[in-house]
Amino acid sequence: MADRQTDSPLPTQLSGAAMPVTMTYAKALAAAIRVAMQEDPRVFMAGEDIGVYGGAFGMSDGLLAEFGPERIIDTPISEDLGVGLGVGAAIMGQRPVIEIQFSDFILNAMDPLINQAAKLHFMYGGNVTVPLIVRGPAGGGTGAAAQHSQSLEALVAHIPGLKVVMPATGQDVHDLFLTALADPDPVVFFEHKLLYKTEHQVQVRSAIGDSPAKLGEAAIRRDGTDVTVIAYSIMVPRALEAAERVAESGISVQVVDLRTLRPLDTQTIIESVSSTGRLVTVQEAPLPVSVGSEVAAVVASSRALDHLLAPIIRVGGRDNPMPYAKALEHATIPQVDDIVAGIRQALKD
């Protein structure tokens, strides 16, 4: 079982909070879930161990007592059942949030997710919507080995009809969850395990509609003029640290946080690379057939190509299943040093 969160519980009433407060990434997401459930009786959660236990990572801690077993539903150990339940509920007008205890096991729910949730709106001529969130912890770095440490975002982002979100900050995980909940389409919402305990300043929204975040809108986390680094999820703070490090030698890095992988903010990508003339993509996932590959293709097929001063550099995980051994896991996942090396390589030409 995963290491659950231990910081202080959220207050049961969150509406009206105006000033940012310090909370972990996990609590920022939990706060968004509570805001949504307080506002909209159609919102419910279902997943393995989310009720009495409070979720493997503590995301639903306290919600069973507050909202009851009809809205916090413990499912059997069957992701296929959980997502299938969500699809059926969504097309009947509910707003289900289905937790996959480890995002790796979304693979067990490919039929209801890909063949049903992603397609029903189109197959029924626009007369059906599937407002479903399927969410869970992604990525490695916790010693959980090959079957509990994958980065499968490119796989689901490939599917027409699905939207994919991977927030890097506490404010974004809070806001983008609320935005995803209001969306009429199915959204796959991945949170990196190593981000859960990171602390952030978060303004808790009082209602679902208060979220200013938009799907398909990237954020520039750091301005720069020499090279663009495009990252998402856990690689955003690592890219920012790498940018700080190379700044000591006079290199100015613009860091772009994609935030959502589908829809992809191609305009921000093109504008950033056009302004700097160099591009480094950064991801934890292996490089072949990946998000970084798509970003590179966007640049190569746009006006940004005319501004490139050097070949595109891609930084990503090694092309192997995640090892259990700590040293091998560390070597598989890109670290700050790897991003620094990628930046310096982009500036050689």
**336 secondary structure, DSSP code:** H
The number of beta carbons lying within 10 Å of the beta carbon of residue 199 is: 13
Give the span between the Cα atoms of 2 and 49, in whole angstroms. Answer: 11
pLDDT recorded at residue 94: 98
Supply 208's token pair.
Answer: 């679902």
Cβ contacts of residue 9 below 8 Å, gap of 6+?
Answer: 61, 62
Report if pTM > 0.75.
yes
Task: Reduce the secondary structure of 165-204 to three states and give it as a string.
Answer: ECCCCHHHHHHHHHHHHHCCCCEEEEEEHHHCCCEEEECC
What pairs with residue 227 in β-bridges? 253
Per-residue pLDDT of the chain (349 residues; tens, 9 = 90+): 444 444 444 444 444 456 999 999 999 999 999 999 999 999 999 999 999 999 989 889 999 999 999 999 999 999 999 999 999 999 999 999 999 999 999 999 999 999 999 999 999 999 999 999 999 999 999 999 999 999 999 999 999 999 999 999 999 999 999 999 999 999 999 999 999 999 999 999 999 999 999 999 999 999 999 999 999 999 999 999 999 999 999 999 999 999 999 999 999 999 999 999 999 999 999 999 999 999 999 999 999 999 999 999 999 999 999 999 999 999 999 999 999 999 999 999 6
What pairs with residue 24 in β-bridges? 199
If phi > 0 it is left, if psi is from -120 to 50 it is alpha, else beta; for residue 143 that is left
**161 secondary structure, DSSP code:** T
Q: How many residues does the chain have?
A: 349
pLDDT recorded at residue 87: 98
Please report which helix (H) or strand (E) contains residue 295, including its range.
helix 291-300
CB-count burial class (<10 Å; 0-12, 13-18, 19+) for 249? exposed
Give the span between the Cα atoms of 260 and 233, in whole angstroms. Answer: 9
Residue in 148, 174, 192, 200 annotated catalytic:
148
What pairs with residue 282 in β-bridges? 315
DSSP per residue, 80-130: HHHHHHHHHHHHTT-EEEEE-SSGGGGGGGHIIIIIIITTHHHHTTTS---
Supply 291's token pair.
Answer: 């998000």
Residue in 79, 153, 191, 329 annotated catalytic:
79
Does the active-site annotation cover 79?
A: yes
Note the maximum CA span of the chain: 61
DSSP per residue, 217-277: --EEEE--SSEEEEE-TTHHHHHHHHHHHHHTTT--EEEEE--EEES--HHHHHHHHHHHS
Supply 304's token pair.
Answer: 């940004």
